[in-house]
Amino acid sequence: MEFLHSLPKSKVLFGDGKLKQLGSEAANYGSNVFLVTGKSSMEKLGFLDKTKKYLNREGLSYTHFNEVTPNPTTETVNKGAQLALGEGCDVVVALGGGSAMDAAKAIAVVAGHKPNGGSEDIWDYISAAQDDSEPITEETLPIITVTSTSGTGSHVTPYAVITNPDTGGKPGFGGPPMFPEVSIVDPEILLEMPPKLTALTGFDVYSHVSENIVSKGDHPTADPYAKEAIKLVSEYLPIAYNNGDDLEAREMMAVADTYAGLSNTIASTGLRHAMEHAVSGHYPEVSHAQGLASLAIPIMEYNIEHGDKKTLERYSKIAKQFGEIDKVTSQKEDALKSVTALNDFLGKLELDKGLRELGVEDSSIESMVEGTFEYMKGDIEHNPVIPDRQDVKEIFKQAM
């Protein structure tokens, strides 16, 4: 066995009403906050006002940037970084889902490096986009996140995902300086997620850990997080979806999201994330998690069909966590029970949709195949079976 495990550095404050501690936490890192949100949800729900109040209370000044859209773009990040620099901000706070958190991390990279001679374009820091990317160093401004979804795990990972609207390229990137210093997980905010967003983000959690479990290599320190997260998602996501006011279900999904972020920091995602980024990169109106859901079944079938004994065993672990089998084996029929379980689960969450239903056109398949191989090489290399372009094309067709 062989593995590498660096401890994540984020401090997580978890609990009802913890948003109140934002000001005192931020004051440890700066005095002039760049506050990053999406366009409207946090304002409508009253959390933006609360956030401003908690920053004011500690004597912090702030600039609010509310231009982040789902699947955030290089343009938005570069604009935010310019503004943060112009205002002399010294700490970046995200209040929102994965999109706001990722945009904030990326803004912290550009705003931290540019005054020291770094590029003003986030794309130049993305290693998947070029061979000679600029390094992401400790010059990155300190990052604090308040997560408003239980999905991406971004509050405890050193990663961000940014789309280049010119090419449809949507790579993930990161490095230790992009770990949030502090992350607040406040279920009061999570209770407000509507059912569809609950289902989508919950499925993203499942995706991270199920891909982590089957990914290439040994990851004994990720597996316990991943296995527990699958169990939590299978039990609590249907409850949170059907009764959004169930606090216990919301809390357990937030725990699962945190476990998944930790697992994802150690182990890698695979072909499902590689192919999905090409989908939502080309179609920004498609949510990341719906793209994952539409691709899930054909990719699992492909991996099980061509996977080795260890892969079958890992899929049977997933089936066991879903309660489909009692014992982990390397039998194909047990591995396939993870597919049946997921099919039922997607049905319960009303996520069982083909890509065409999401607006994806057959004419985009070639370009999505290229995007998968160009920007998501790392995830492809970690998939238990290494596909070629023809395999990926066939899977896209099946997922349509």
The footprint of ligand NZQ (CB under 6 A) covers 37-42, 70-71, 96-100, 102, 148-149, 151-154, 157, 159-161, 189, 192-193, 197, 201, 204, 273, 288-289
Tokens of 103: 């945009």
Phi, psi of 185 (to 5 degrees): -115, 100
**Among Mn ion, ligand NZQ, none, residue 134 binds (CB under 5-8 Å by kind):** none
Q: Least distance (Å) from ligand NZQ to the CB of residue 40?
A: 4
Q: Which amino acid is at 397?
A: K
Cα(66)–Cα(85) distance, integer angstroms:
16
Nearest Cα to Cα of residue 202 among 156, 142, 250, 262:
250
204/251 with CB nearer Mn ion? 204
Which stretch in 85-93, 128-136, 204-212, 228-236 sits in contact with Mn ion by CB under 5 A?
Answer: 204-212
**Among Mn ion, ligand NZQ, none, residue 379 binds (CB under 5-8 Å by kind):** none
How far, in whole angstroms, is CA 298 from its chain's centroid?
A: 21
Beta bridge partners of 144: 93, 182
Cα(160)–Cα(316) distance, integer angstroms:
31
Q: Least distance (Å) from ligand NZQ to the CB of residue 95?
A: 8
In the numeric block, the tokens 């850990």 are attached to: 209
**Among ligand NZQ, Mn ion, none, residue 76 binds (CB under 5-8 Å by kind):** none
191/335 with CB nearer ligand NZQ? 191
Q: Least distance (Å) from Mn ion to the CB of residue 288?
A: 6
187/291 with CB nearer Mn ion? 291
Name which position in 102, 134, 204, 379 contacts Mn ion (CB under 5 A). 204
Cα(104)–Cα(106) distance, integer angstroms:
5
Tokens of 225: 């997080």
101/325 with CB nearer ligand NZQ? 101
Contact 34, 93 (CB under 8 A): yes
Which stretch in 44-52, 64-72, 87-95, 203-211 sits in contact with Mn ion by CB under 5 A?
Answer: 203-211
Q: Which residues contact 135 (CB under 8 A, 6 or more apart)?
A: 125, 175
Contact 288, 71 (CB under 8 A): yes
Nearest Cα to Cα of residue 300 among 345, 336, 346:
336
Establish if 379 lies at the interface with Mn ion (CB under 5 A). Answer: no
Radius of gyration over every alpha carbon of the chain, rounded to an integer in angstroms? 20
Q: Which amino acid is at 107?
A: I
**Among Mn ion, ligand NZQ, none, residue 23 binds (CB under 5-8 Å by kind):** none
Nearest Cα to Cα of residue 367 among 196, 169, 136:
169
Q: Least distance (Å) from ligand NZQ to the CB of residue 134?
A: 19
**Among Mn ion, ligand NZQ, none, residue 296 binds (CB under 5-8 Å by kind):** none
Q: Which residue has its beta carbon closest to ligand NZQ?
A: 38
23/261 with CB nearer Mn ion? 261
**Among ligand NZQ, Mn ion, none, residue 201 binds (CB under 5-8 Å by kind):** ligand NZQ
Which stretch in 28-36, 80-88, 201-209, 234-242 sits in contact with Mn ion by CB under 5 A?
Answer: 201-209
Q: Least distance (Å) from ligand NZQ to the CB of residue 335?
A: 24
The alpha-helical segments, DSSP class H, found in 267-352 are 271-282, 288-306, 309-321, 332-348
**Among ligand NZQ, Mn ion, none, residue 311 binds (CB under 5-8 Å by kind):** none
Cα(383)–Cα(221) distance, integer angstroms:
18
In the numeric block, the tokens 């006002």 are attached to: 49
Tokens of 321: 């966590």
Cα(277)–Cα(89) distance, integer angstroms:
31
**Among ligand NZQ, Mn ion, none, residue 197 binds (CB under 5-8 Å by kind):** ligand NZQ
Q: Least distance (Å) from Mn ion to the CB of residue 192?
A: 21
Q: Least distance (Å) from Mn ion to the CB of residue 200?
A: 10
Q: Least distance (Å) from ligand NZQ to the CB of residue 208?
A: 6
Q: Least distance (Å) from Mn ion to the CB of residue 208?
A: 6
Q: Least distance (Å) from ligand NZQ to the CB of residue 390?
A: 26
**Among Mn ion, ligand NZQ, none, residue 80 binds (CB under 5-8 Å by kind):** none
Q: Which residues contact 110 (CB under 8 A, 6 or more apart)?
A: 77, 78, 81, 118, 119, 120, 121, 122, 125
**Residues contributing to the site for Mn ion (CB under 5 A):** 204
